[in-house]
């Protein structure tokens, strides 16, 4: 699906995670801020978001603050679900209409004038339901992005989590790279995890520290470093 809604961004980036609470929104916001600071036009989209009642700010609010858009432009108001479970499960609990993958895709509208970078952030982990008939992997594949960022925690257990998600992304022939969030260069485990993923698994691995994010922001908007595996 090369075109969704209005003009497709010149470069489309989809952000997925190895699980929930790995920092997808934080990484996304920092990248959007860096691109804007470099003079690039950006747009952020969150097809659906679920959250705990009273949670403030929501993901759409964080992304909108970083991209300069209204939160309800980032995520349509009727796709806000105030229950902290996967969006289609939240819709059921709240007695709302079922969520379909096609419904989410049809609502994903971009500005009239093409933006330099469009970023779509999914909910939860890579195989977390986004709709009754599709998960984050399904949604990502349908969007045919120029790059997929797989966000993972830098600590214990990340090698297994990254490998499992990487296998699913590779099966779909999606162009993806790994970002280790909360990376601390002084933490031996973090350093060893990064080296293992890069040296043993041969993966492109960026870090979520300021230097790593600056490098990542430039790589995503220059000649592609992502590979279809």
pLDDT for 171 equals: 84
pLDDT of 228 above 80 = no
pLDDT of 37 above 80 = yes
pLDDT digits 0-9 by tens, 43-63: 999 999 999 998 899 999 999
pLDDT for 64 equals: 98
| Domains present along the chain, CATH in parentheses | 11-223 (3.40.50.300)
Mean pLDDT of the chain: 93
pLDDT digits 0-9 by tens, 147-172: 999 999 999 999 999 999 999 998 88
pLDDT for 187 equals: 97
pLDDT of 29 above 70 = yes
Tokens representing 64 are 């909108």
User: For the residues 107-125, what does the mean pLDDT come to?
Assistant: 96
For 63, residues 6+ apart whose C-beta sits below 8 A from its C-beta are: 25, 28, 29, 32, 44, 46, 69, 71, 74, 119, 121
Q: How confident is the model at residue 173 (pLDDT cuts 50, 70, 90)?
A: confident
pLDDT digits 0-9 by tens, 6-21: 689 999 999 999 999 9
pLDDT of 5 above 90 = no
User: For the residues 108-116, what does the mean pLDDT come to?
Assistant: 94
% of the chain surpassing 70 pLDDT? 94
Task: For residue 2, indicate whether it is catalytic.
Answer: no
Euclidean distance between CA atoms 74 and 70, whole angstroms: 7
For 66, residues 6+ apart whose C-beta sits below 8 A from its C-beta are: 28, 29, 30, 32, 33, 36, 44
Pick the closest to residue 137 from 177, 169, 95 (CA basis): 169
Euclidean distance between CA atoms 60 and 46, whole angstroms: 7
Catalytic residue among 45, 46, 79, 101: 46
User: For the residues 187-215, what does the mean pLDDT come to?
Assistant: 96
> Phi-psi bin for 5: left (phi > 0), alpha (psi -120 to 50), beta?
left
pLDDT of 226 above 70 = no
% of the chain surpassing 90 pLDDT? 89
């Amino acid at each position: 699906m090369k075109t969704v809604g209005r003009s497709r961004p010149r470069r489309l980036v989809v952000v997925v995670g190895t699980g929930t609470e790995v920092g997808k929104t934080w990484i996304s916001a920092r990248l959007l801020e860096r691109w804007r600071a470099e003079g690039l036009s950006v747009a952020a989209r969150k097809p659906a978001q679920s959250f705990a009642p009273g949670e403030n700010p929501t993901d759409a609010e964080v992304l909108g603050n970083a991209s300069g858009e209204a939160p309800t432009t980032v995520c349509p108001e009727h796709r806000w679900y105030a229950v902290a479970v996967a969006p289609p499960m939240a819709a059921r609990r709240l007695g709302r209409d079922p969520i379909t993958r096609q419904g989410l895709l049809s609502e994903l509208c971009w500005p009239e004038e093409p933006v330099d970078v469009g970023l779509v952030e999914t909910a939860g982990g890579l195989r977390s339901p986004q709709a009754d008939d599709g998960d984050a992997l399904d949604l990502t594949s349908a969007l045919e992005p120029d790059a997929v960022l797989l966000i993972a925690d830098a600590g214990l257990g990340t090698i297994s989590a990254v490998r499992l998600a990487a296998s699913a992304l590779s099966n779909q022939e999606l162009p993806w790279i790994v970002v280790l969030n909360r990376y601390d260069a002084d933490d031996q485990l973090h350093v060893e995890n990064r080296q293992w993923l890069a040296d043993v698994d041969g993966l492109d691995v960026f870090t979520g520290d300021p230097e790593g994010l600056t490098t990542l922001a430039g790589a995503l908007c220059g000649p592609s470093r992502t590979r279809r595996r």
